[in-house]
């Protein structure tokens, strides 16, 4: 790859202990949903692990990448189907990376690293799997006669615009493939690198629905440095949101996570929402921190080191559940709703959009069975004229059910 042609790098072929993730021995398991094989015949004579044993482990002796190891793999598929039992309002995702340099101590996706026999703490932050053939696989999928052309969500596991993307440049190829197929998609990110692809996103928005959201849970600089040290500063993320909106690419904000006792005071919430409004966000969706296995242990380790006085209060709040009590979540949702109305989030601004036509709305999401009433997930605002996006929704606004998965960022 041209992005890897530079000095002071080291590459080795390694044999990771990922044999427990073998695919089915039957050759049918080595096929995509359209029935076409994704590997040459010579490589179909043995069962393959989910991540190939012949991954290339690469390190870079450059600022921003020291201490990192990137496992470059030839993926079998990157357009992944969401399990049918999921409450997500979309059925397909693309995740070109596993592991994330953003190092958010609360990241929901940490547990997935344990499937690779890597730990969910430091390994998740420093050992990133890179699916180097992702753009080619997306283009192949879009060309398949059996592909239904449904909405694809990106950024719902780890950030597709983490710093590694600056070197591997997978997203331009992925976006181009989706654009050429006029396939609707959405992106959620903490990475300001999304601005690199702004022109490409604008081209895609001319032919299909493009939903964009940045993730900014708080604007406190000290908390940012402590809890999400690998991300751009909140102010820079909001500048990216403003730039996208000025370009005519409607962008909202996932205000998550709201961190109990550290970013949830009335003054802190007001500061965050006022700056989100100043960025021209089309909508804001607050999400309260939740702590699932794999994340919970890493977060409590950080909490004990940085805020030991809060450990007892967190055990009271999260002792019996991964989620904060519903009463707490409802209070945060109500406060943010009022602040959004106060600061005018969602109100049309003179001259906004630069005359760009509104992209077509995405296909209707899957409906739950008529006999099943889905509860509103924790910390999500009910629909309102202020918080509802006035443009095609991004991942934080597609459906209340989506919020549960997006707290990872």
Q: Which burial class, exposed, middle or buried, applies to 354 when counting CB atoms under 10 A from its CB (0-12, 13-18, 19+)?
A: exposed
Residues 6+ positions from 84 with CB-CB distance below 8 Å? none
How do residues 340-372 score in pLDDT, each as one tens digit? 999 999 876 654 443 333 334 444 444 333 322
In angstroms, the CA 102 to CA 395 distance is 19
Q: Which helix (H) or strand (E) holds 237?
A: helix 234-246
Using the predicted structure, report yes or no on whether residue 336 has a pLDDT greater than 90.
yes
Q: In sequence order, which ranges of 307-392 are alpha helices (DSSP H)?
A: 311-318, 326-343
Structure token digits, residue 203: 């081209």
Q: What digits encode the pLDDT tens for the residues 75-127?
A: 999 999 988 877 677 899 999 999 999 989 989 888 788 778 887 788 987 89
Read off the pLDDT of residues 369-385 as tens digits, 9 standing for 90 and up: 332 222 333 333 433 33
Q: Could you read off the pLDDT of 172-205 as tens digits, one per residue?
A: 999 999 999 999 999 999 999 999 999 999 999 9
pLDDT in tens, 18-76: 433 332 223 233 333 333 333 333 333 333 333 445 688 888 888 888 888 999 999 99
Structural domains in the chain, sorted by start: 11-150 (no CATH), 211-289+324-362+376-409 (3.30.750)
Q: SS3 of 244, please?
A: helix
Q: Is 35 left (phi over 0), alpha (psi -120 to 50) or beta?
A: left
Q: Does the pLDDT value for residue 8 go beyond 50?
A: no
CA distance to 29, 140, 214, 354, 407, per residue, from 190 (Å): 35, 28, 6, 25, 12
Task: Kindly report the number of other CB atoms within 10 A of residue 284's CB atom.
Answer: 28
Burial of 132 (0-12, 13-18, 19+ CB in 10 A): buried
Strand positions, DSSP E, 165-236: 185-189, 210-215
Q: Provide the token pair at 240.
A: 């990216």
Rounded CA-CA distance 147/134 in Å is 17
The structure's pTM equals: 0.76
Q: How far apart are CA 240 and CA 251, in angstroms?
A: 9
Per residue in 200-224, pLDDT tens?
Answer: 999 999 999 999 999 999 999 999 9
């Amino acid at each position: 790859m041209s992005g890897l042609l530079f000095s002071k790098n080291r590459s080795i072929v390694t044999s990771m202990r990922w044999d427990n993730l073998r695919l089915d021995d039957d050759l049918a398991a080595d096929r995509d949903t359209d029935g076409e094989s994704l590997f040459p015949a010579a490589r179909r004579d043995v069962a393959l692990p989910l991540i190939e044993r012949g991954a290339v482990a690469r390190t870079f002796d450059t600022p921003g990448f020291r201490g990192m190891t990137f496992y470059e793999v030839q993926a079998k598929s990157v357009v992944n189907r969401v399990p049918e039992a999921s409450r997500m309002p979309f059925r397909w995702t693309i995740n070109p990376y596993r592991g994330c340099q953003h190092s958010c101590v609360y990241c929901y996706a940490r547990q997935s690293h344990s499937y690779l026999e890597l730990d969910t703490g430091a390994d998740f932050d420093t050992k990133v799997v890179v699916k180097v053939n992702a753009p080619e696989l997306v283009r192949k999928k879009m060309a398949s006669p059996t592909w239904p052309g449904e909405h694809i969500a990106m950024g719902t596991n780890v950030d597709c615009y983490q710093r590694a993307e600056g070197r591997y440049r997978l997203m331009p190829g992925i976006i181009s493939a989706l654009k050429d197929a006029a396939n609707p998609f959405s992106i959620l990110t903490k990475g300001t690198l999304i601005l690199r692809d702004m022109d490409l996103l604008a081209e895609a928005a001319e032919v299909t629905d493009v939903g964009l959201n940045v993730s900014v849970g708080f604007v406190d600089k000290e908390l940012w440095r402590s809890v999400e040290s690998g991300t751009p500063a909140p102010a820079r993320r909001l500048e990216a949101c403003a730039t996208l909106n000025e370009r005519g690419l409607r962008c909202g904000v996932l205000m998550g996570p709201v961190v109990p006792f550290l970013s949830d005071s009335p003054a802190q919430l007001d500061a965050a929402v006022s700056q989100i409004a100043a960025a021209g966000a089309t909508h804001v969706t607050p999400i309260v921190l939740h702590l699932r296995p794999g994340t919970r242990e890493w977060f409590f380790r950080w909490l004990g080191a940085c805020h030991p006085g809060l450990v007892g209060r967190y055990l009271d709040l999260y002792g019996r559940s991964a989620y904060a009590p519903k009463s707490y979540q409802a209070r945060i949702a109500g406060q943010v709703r009022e602040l959004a109305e106060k600061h005018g989030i969602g109100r049309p601004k003179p001259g906004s959009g630069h005359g760009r036509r509104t992209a077509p709305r995405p296909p209707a999401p899957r409906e739950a069975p008529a006999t099943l009433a889905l509860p509103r997930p924790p910390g999500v605002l009910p629909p309102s004229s202020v918080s509802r996006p006035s443009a095609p929704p991004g991942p934080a606004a597609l459906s209340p059910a989506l919020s549960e998965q997006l707290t990872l960022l």
